Amino acid sequence: MDRSQLADFLRRRREALQPEDVGLPRGSRRRTDGLRREEVAALCDMSVDYYSRLEQRRGPQPSEQMLQAIARGLHLSLDERDHLFRLAGRNAPVRVYRSDHISPGLMRILDRLQDTPAEVMTDLGETLYQTPLAAALLGDETHYTGLARSVVYRWFIDPASRDVYPVEDQPRHARTFVANLRGTYSRQGAGSRAAELVDVLTAKSPEFADVWARHEVGGAAGYHKRISNFEVGVLELHCQQLLDPEQGQTLLVFTATPGTESYERLKLLGVVAGALSAGAALSGGAALSGSDPLSGGGQGRTIRS
C-alpha cells in the first residue's frame, strides 16, 4: 500500500469534483477547491475521520468493499478505479462485460434523483445501488451475496421476495424475469454466470424450468407496474429504464402520475423514509469511527420486470 500516493490521488480527485457534479449546492461561502472531505465521506458512506486519515497518509489499508465505495463516491472512471485499487495494495477488479462499477455518468444522474425511487442493476438482476426512496419502496436489495444477489434467483427460490408485487401480477413478472435472463444468457453464452444461474434454477425450481422451456425472449423495457409496499399500500408507477451498454447495467426510475393517489402515497413514503434515515443516522453515528466503517452500501432489478 502506497499511503503517500493514495493520499495524493484521493485529494486530487476530491478537488477536481465540483458540488454541481454530485448534486450539491455550491453556496456563497465555499472556500475549498472542489468538495469538502465531509462531503466526500457522505458520498462514500463512511465516517469523516476514516476518510480524512486516508488523505493524511495515516489510514489503514481499505478493504475492497471500501475501495468500491470510494470509487463510486468520487465518480472514478474504470482506469481511475483500477489505479485506486493498486495504490491501496489490492488487485484491481477483473474487467469483464459485467461489472459492479457504476459509471460516473450514471452516478451523476443518481445524485440528482435522491428524492426519487431509482436503482442501478446488472443484466443478471443484481442491485448495485438504490436511492433511499427506492430502498423504502422495494426493500434493501444491495446486501445479498452469491447467486441470491440476482432478483431472478430470489424470485424462484424465496417466495417471500414476490411480496413486492400484488399476487395477481406475479405470473407476468415471472415470465418477464425469465425472458430477460434468456437474453442475458444468449449474450454471455455457456460457462457464463448467466449459464450458472440458469443451471441452478433449472435444478432447484420446477416453476422456473417450466417457464424457461417456453423460450420466451424480450422483457418490457419500461411500463406501468404496481408495487405493494408495507407502509403505504399498492402504488401504480411508471418504470423507465436507461441502459449503459458498456457496463451491462440499467438505471431504473419509478414515478407516479401527479394528482393520483399513488403520487400522494409515494410522497408519504418519502416522509417515512426520511424519518427512518434520520433515526438510523442518529443511532449509528458512533459506530462510524471503526477501522473500515462502510455504513451499508445500500439504503434500507437490468432484470426488473
Residues 230 and 118 in one domain: yes
Question: Would 296 be classed as within a structural domain?
Answer: no
Specify the DSSP class assigned to residue 57: T
pLDDT of 299 reads 36
| Residues 196 and 274 reside in one and the same domain | yes
Residues 18, 115, single domain; the answer is no
Is 14 a residue whose pLDDT tops 90? no
Whether the Cβ atoms of residue 7 and residue 55 lie closer than 8 Å to each other: yes
Asked if residue 130 and residue 28 are part of one domain, the reply reads: no
Confidence (pLDDT) at 44: 86
On whether both 282 and 241 belong to a single domain, the answer is: yes
DSSP 157-191: H-GGGGGGS-GGGHHHHHHHHHHHHHHHHHHH-TT
Query: Is residue 245 a part of any domain in this protein?
Result: yes
Pair 139, 230 in one domain:
yes
Q: Which domain holds residue 37?
A: 3-89
C-alpha to C-alpha distances, 256 to 154, 168, 238, 253, 265, nearest whole angstrom: 26, 21, 6, 10, 9
pLDDT confidence of residue 96: 56
**Domain shared by 164 and 71, yes or no:** no
Phi, psi of 105 (to 5 degrees): -65, -45
**Residue 118: inside a domain:** yes
Q: Looking at the structure, do residues 207 and 266 belong to the same domain, yes or no?
A: yes
pLDDT in tens, 246-302: 777 899 999 999 999 999 999 999 888 776 665 555 554 444 444 443 333 333 334
Q: Residue 114: which CATH number?
A: 3.30.450
Assess if residue 234 is contained within a domain: yes
Helix (H) or strand (E) segment spanning residue 97: none
Domain for residue 294, yes or no? no
| pLDDT of res. 227 | 95
Total number of domains constituting the chain: 2
Strand partners for 227:
235
Is residue 221 domain-shared with residue 84, that is, in the same domain?
no
In a domain, 293, yes or no: no
Task: State the pLDDT at residue 287.
Answer: 42
Q: For residue range 46-91, list pLDDT tens digits in order.
A: 888 888 988 888 888 888 888 988 998 888 887 788 888 888 988 8
- Pair 79, 22 in one domain: yes
Q: Which residue has the higher pLDDT, 80 or 27?
A: 80
Task: Identify which of 2-11, 27-36, 117-126, 241-250 has the greatest average pLDDT.
Answer: 117-126
Per-residue pLDDT of 166-220, as tens digits, reads 999 999 999 999 988 988 887 887 888 899 999 999 999 999 999 998 888 766 5
* Residue 298 covered by a domain: no
Classify residue 98: in a domain, yes or no. no
What is the predicted pLDDT for the residue at 305? Answer: 61
Decide if pLDDT at 161 tops 70: yes
Tell me the C-alpha to C-alpha distance, in Å, between residue 205 and each of 81, 160, 185, 201: 38, 15, 18, 5
pLDDT value at residue 278: 59
276 with 153, same domain: the answer is yes
What are 233's strand-pairing partners?
229
**Domain with 60 in it: what CATH number?**
1.10.260.40
Instruction: Say which range, 31-40, 214-223, 236-245, has the weakest mean pLDDT.
Output: 214-223
Selection from 143, 219, 154 nearest residue 184 by Cα? 219
Q: What is the pLDDT of residue 219?
A: 62
Same domain, 83 and 145: no
Alpha-carbon distances, residue 197 vs 64, 101, 152, 177, 188 (angstroms): 25, 21, 9, 12, 12
- Residue 277 pLDDT: 62
Tell me what pLDDT residue 183 has: 84
pLDDT for res 2: 81
Q: Which of 89, 120, 149 is the last residue of a domain?
A: 89
